[in-house]
Amino acid sequence: MKEQGCYTCKEETSSISTWFLGLLFGSLTGFILALLSSPKSGAQMRENIKLKARSLPDSASKIVDDTIDFYAGALNYGQLIIEEQTARVKDAYAAGKLAAAKRREELEMESGSVLPLQHR
């Protein structure tokens, strides 16, 4: 059963990487087709490409920063949710433990004896 789970993980990873490869190939193909079908002259097109290439590092840096900020925010939100749920589980556990102790005490008073396996 464990091997099947690993196979599923590999299959999902493979499909994701295939999707990204397709995205990259499609983008490159679209770029080439746009260059070939452009109504601008070669000199104008080269100048536009130079301008875009110069602004590419800034654009990429902004995208990376935005992505990092998004994931950091999502991580912080996830940690907050986990901490809240952990606190709720601990509170529920403590309430259950207290209710069990009260019930044990009630049973002791009714029967007048100490229950077996009681720790004091």
Q: What are the pLDDT digits (tens) for 41-95?
A: 778 878 887 888 888 888 888 999 999 999 999 999 999 999 999 999 999 999 9
Nearest-angstrom CA–CA distance, 92 and 99: 10
- Identify the pLDDT of residue 14: 76
pLDDT number for residue 8: 57
- pTM for the full predicted model: 0.42
Strand residue runs (E) in 2-51: none
According to DSSP, residue 41 is labeled -
Instruction: Quickly state the pLDDT bin for 114 (edges 50, 70, 90).
Output: low
